[in-house]
Structure 1
């Protein structure tokens, strides 16, 4: 039997003229467990509630968290495999003291190119320090001259800060007697509308954060105008912003001689340890999300589906109109191409 790709059978549910309902294959005009058959079913404690369907009932953020974690794992595991191969090649070069033939350079470039694609490959879930988050990855950076020692000293001064090269200036008022936390809060309040946040890092220094996608623009355009106390007065002056050192920096790896090969091997070993640590961290996050999924999944979904299946089997076995209605409704929307594609998976 060949199933027409665009078949949408129209069936009239028996009843009086005012109740006649056309079924287009996607809806029978019924609800709950009766949606699969036209035979009324006496509700039971497990089937009285409306049938809820698997993924459609999961909290959407849960699905996003799972997808993000899986993307991060895919990237990290691929990176770990490349690093292990590179480690083996570097060790062999040192053991055999072979001459450089370009193979190691090619492998380093390959990993470097893969690593440069980290943000896209991981779906934006891994930052340069391999910190996993299902929110957009960020870049932490410092600004030259904005040390706490410099900011907390001196008289009252108003700093005008420009981000993005536009005329949208942000003002920060510095006064004697402010605590480090208060200074960081004033920077954070001023820059947050521009997508830059400020806080104190573990060393008690002022550190800024922005989305990784915005980092290049922030780095190249940040400028400050002061009152001549902490920063020069007059026109806006470009200041240097420096990003936090990445966990892995393959662009610095060299293989031109034995000494550089030895140094690169050490860096590769350290990078592999950090990647493996990140893998363990993402696995932990994924396990936590899986636990949330289990608790969020409806307890009566399985029982409800069992009830629907039993209704369909019972009705399909009985000859007559109701049996035909159940079968045609189940087959509606199934194209020949879909059947062939599913069979090809066997």
Structure 2
């Protein structure tokens, strides 16, 4: 591999029986609560409890996170779709009646603009500006002026020093004659990955860069390159312009001042609604895939044990007194609104 560092490179028990009141204090209460629902002796097969606990643990962490992320994305998309449908109906009626826009129409445009502006928070960071869904977090795609393949593949050998984030955190990329487009993209990718920027081949003889959305503003404002005078100037680091990919929806450009503006905005709203509906289908498909993973992660052969646990809980909860209270509070511990929504979404 031909990536070389520049002058200052970056180195890349089970608890006790719940009936033992003498053992109950602030700590042991939580421990005993774990077994409160099964205070009545249970005699499952020797290995029935272990796979049950493993199955619930496996589902509860990564799968629950994936379900929650998909549900947040769906909530945002469905809210956006509803607003776009209302806006589409209002624009269409104004055009049919040949009426100028009023405060109501402008308010609907402004409402959707605010919704779109809050996309990152509302979707839990799972939807990017193209409405692509990922539970790994949204990213911004961008290009860098001068870093097109036609410019990079030609000329003599040159070492580029690239700075992202300012300071002396330089990364070096060696370019030389005979490199393929894939090799050029790979060298940039390996050099910039420690700085949170990934690179791949894009369309139109361009390198396609990407970085997490939260990092985009810093990358955009600090990326600089120093060459040896072949492809990029020598001397000091020179700032280069990074341009983000245009968003799939841009409500800030929608106008309603006259008939022509309303007609143009209606066309953009229709396109935006189609994009949102496609994204809803994509997220629902992802949610179905998570549902399949939940089913495959479910413990096998534990139905009898679960039936016994449920029966024990019912019997204990019907008895007035401390045991009943402990069983109920233990069963409710850890249940949150988000968890209930995630479970209901699987129906």
TM-score normalised by the shorter chain: which range applies?
0.7 to 0.9
CA distance in 2, matches of 1:266, 1:316: 60
CA distance in 2, matches of 1:315, 1:116: 51
CA distance in 2, matches of 1:289, 1:236: 47
CA distance in 2, matches of 1:29, 1:97: 68
Superposed, 1:74-223 pairs within 5 Å as: 74-223=75-224
* 2:323 corresponding residue in structure 1: 329
- Higher helix residue share: 2
* 1:4 corresponding residue in structure 2: none
CA distance in 2, matches of 1:12, 1:160: 69
Q: 1:72 to 1:12 in 2, by over 3 A?
A: closer
In the TM superposition, residue 157 of structure 1 has moved relative to its aligned partner by 1.0
Q: 1:315 to 1:193 in 2, by over 3 A?
A: closer
Contact 2:141 2:210 in 1 (8 A): yes
In the TM superposition, residue 58 of structure 1 has moved relative to its aligned partner by 1.4
Q: Count the aligned residue pairs.
A: 311
Contact 1:59 1:296 in 2 (8 A): no
In the TM superposition, residue 310 of structure 1 has moved relative to its aligned partner by 3.7
SS in 1 for 2:23: strand
Contact 1:53 1:301 in 2 (8 A): no
For the pair shown, the structure with the greater C-alpha radius of gyration is 1
CA distance in 1, matches of 2:300, 2:109: 51
Contact 2:100 2:257 in 1 (8 A): no
In the TM superposition, residue 293 of structure 1 has moved relative to its aligned partner by 0.4
* 1:3 corresponding residue in structure 2: none
* 2:336 corresponding residue in structure 1: none
In the TM superposition, residue 47 of structure 1 has moved relative to its aligned partner by 5.1
CA distance in 2, matches of 1:64, 1:77: 20
Superposed, 1:149-298 pairs within 5 Å as: 149-298=150-299
* 1:342 corresponding residue in structure 2: none
Contact 1:225 1:232 in 2 (8 A): yes
* 1:16 corresponding residue in structure 2: none
* 2:39 corresponding residue in structure 1: 37
* 2:10 corresponding residue in structure 1: none
- In structure 2, runs of 5+ residues without a counterpart are 1-17, 333-347
CA distance in 1, matches of 2:315, 2:269: 64
Relative to the length of structure 2, the TM-score reads 0.81
- In structure 1, runs of 5+ residues without a counterpart are 1-9, 14-20, 318-322, 339-346
In the TM superposition, residue 259 of structure 1 has moved relative to its aligned partner by 0.8
SS in 1 for 2:219: helix
Contact 2:313 2:327 in 1 (8 A): no
CA distance in 2, matches of 1:109, 1:157: 50
Task: Give deviations 1:50-101, integer Å, cap 9, x for gaps.
Answer: 7538744415111111000000000000000011111111111111111232
Runs of 4+ in structure 1 deviating by more than 6 angstroms, as ranges, are: 313-317
Task: Give deviations 1:296-330, integer Å, cap 9, x for gaps.
Answer: 1113444212213444667899xxxxx88xx6334
Task: Give deviations 1:6-57, integer Å, cap 9, x for gaps.
Answer: xxxx9548xxxxxxx73454445997xx972254x44447857575387444
Q: 1:51 to 1:186 in 2, by over 3 A?
A: closer
Q: 1:155 to 1:300 in 2, by over 3 A?
A: same
CA distance in 1, matches of 2:223, 2:68: 35
Relative to the length of structure 1, the TM-score reads 0.81
CA RMSD of the aligned region, Å? 2.9
Contact 2:163 2:223 in 1 (8 A): yes
CA distance in 2, matches of 1:105, 1:314: 61
* 1:62 corresponding residue in structure 2: 63
